Structure 1
């Protein structure tokens, strides 16, 4: 496990290079069309599983959860969407429930208030409140309240790492996440996030001495931006250093968007990692 050889230190980069080094949409040709395709497929899946949509867990408009039921008394994967904490919505990502659901795993997609309407402190608190709510509702929904794992992509990967400390969460799979927020604080992305140094540090998993003793798989595309690959590799190394259960994996040839094909597919690599994760979470 090592830092990618082509990953620069963000501190030595110009503002322009740092901004472009974090801009996934610009780095992948046709990314807008890709996301539009996700939206169409997500609408179709939501229409087929419409019994438990928009369950409200808090007072704000986006404080809602879509519970997509695959089987009774089954484990539940909480999925947290990406968009650099300031774009997109849970409804755009339902398509990625298809892979786990094919194996009898329920999927709960959690919404949260976006920046700048919410600070990152508030967003992290909302995710924890949503998991509290879901754990309490799972018996009535037909799920196993004792078997909850969390996953997310991009900003959702960061929120996955933060949610790993929740007492009801047994493990996680973070995809293409951000684990040190300092590069974000010094980039164009901070215009809406409004991070100061203290908020950045307390919400950066890399800034925590060790982290929870729970299994965490860290996945990134082999063709992603070097700064993203470095974030994942560095965080995996830190968890290993402190003896925390961790697995690091690059999906060969995958970019920031195509990496999600490995979750949408029932035979995808990330879907397989989720199955293996639930085998490690006792019922």
Structure 2
């Protein structure tokens, strides 16, 4: 649970350095092309698995869930997309269901209202509402009814950590997440998020005493921005200090985008962590 040796203290950075230290798109060459390829592959998967798209769990436009079903009575993974709570949509990430689906796991992707239309409190509440809706519907849709494993990338990693307290969640796999929102609050990202200190702190898993007594796997790429590597390492240490089940690892050579290959591939490391999360929490 060591802090990356090259990770600065964000409080000591000037505004330009802090903003640059959180800008994943600028840090990875060709990131726009990578995301465009995600979109194309995701559209293809949604075409092949179109039976349970846009299941509405709430009144807002983005309160919808896509379920990609591979078998009756199969376990269910819920994936929460990233985009710093203000970009992208569930439709862009369907391809990352493929790794788990290859092992007989049904995969759901959840949408949520983006900032500035919604603040973090509302976004977290929507995720909890969607989990409750999905858990209640799974017996009719073909799920095993034994609870949901939640995973998410970037902002979705944060929302994964925030979702652990839901009674229908059995474990989490958080990828390249943000667990202390205070640096976010002081950066360019807060223009749309509109966080004040109170909202930042109550929505920061790293700043809460304790947490849910459920397994959480924390993953980050070794080639990611140092501030994000530090977030993951610090949160792993936080959970360990409170005696909460946690694992931490860095994917060698992976950046903020290429790390997701480990979820898209059936033999990927993140796919394996997801499978282990089901195995370790089987009823």
Deviation at 1:226, TM superposition (A): 0.1
For 1:173, the equivalent position in structure 2 comes to 173
TM-score by length of 2: 0.99
Deviation at 1:99, TM superposition (A): 0.1
Q: Is the 8 A contact 2:135 2:147 kept in 1?
A: no
Aligned residue for 1:282, secondary structure, equals coil
Aligned residue for 1:45, secondary structure, equals helix
User: What are the equivalent positions in structure 2 for 1:72-83 lying under 5 Å apart?
Assistant: 72-83=72-83
User: What are the equivalent positions in structure 2 for 1:6-45 lying under 5 Å apart?
Assistant: 6-45=6-45
For 1:261, the equivalent position in structure 2 comes to 261
Deviation at 1:146, TM superposition (A): 1.3
Q: Separation in 2 of the partners of 1:62 and 1:111?
A: 5
User: What are the equivalent positions in structure 2 for 1:133-148 lying under 5 Å apart?
Assistant: 133-148=133-148
Q: Separation in 1 of the partners of 2:144 and 2:179?
A: 29
Aligned residue for 1:78, secondary structure, equals strand
Give unpaired runs (5+ residues) of structure 1: none
Deviation at 1:71, TM superposition (A): 1.3
Alpha-carbon displacement from aligned partner over 1:154-180 (angstroms, at most 9, x marks no partner): 000000000000000000000000000
User: What are the equivalent positions in structure 2 for 1:231-270 lying under 5 Å apart?
Assistant: 231-270=231-270
For 1:220, the equivalent position in structure 2 comes to 220
Q: Separation in 1 of the partners of 2:129 and 2:144?
A: 18
Deviation at 1:139, TM superposition (A): 0.5
Q: Separation in 2 of the partners of 1:107 and 1:265?
A: 14
Q: Is the 8 A contact 1:55 1:64 kept in 2?
A: yes
Aligned residue for 1:227, secondary structure, equals helix
Alpha-carbon displacement from aligned partner over 1:104-138 (angstroms, at most 9, x marks no partner): 01111000000000010000000000001000100
Deviation at 1:282, TM superposition (A): 2.2
User: What are the equivalent positions in structure 2 for 1:114-129 lying under 5 Å apart?
Assistant: 114-129=114-129
Give unpaired runs (5+ residues) of structure 2: none
Aligned residue for 2:169, secondary structure, equals coil
Aligned residues between the structures: 283
For 2:71, the equivalent position in structure 1 comes to 71
Q: Is the 8 A contact 1:236 1:248 kept in 2?
A: yes
RMSD: 0.5
For 2:277, the equivalent position in structure 1 comes to 277
TM-score by length of 1: 0.99
Alpha-carbon displacement from aligned partner over 1:160-202 (angstroms, at most 9, x marks no partner): 0000000000000000000000000000000000000000000
Deviation at 1:147, TM superposition (A): 3.0
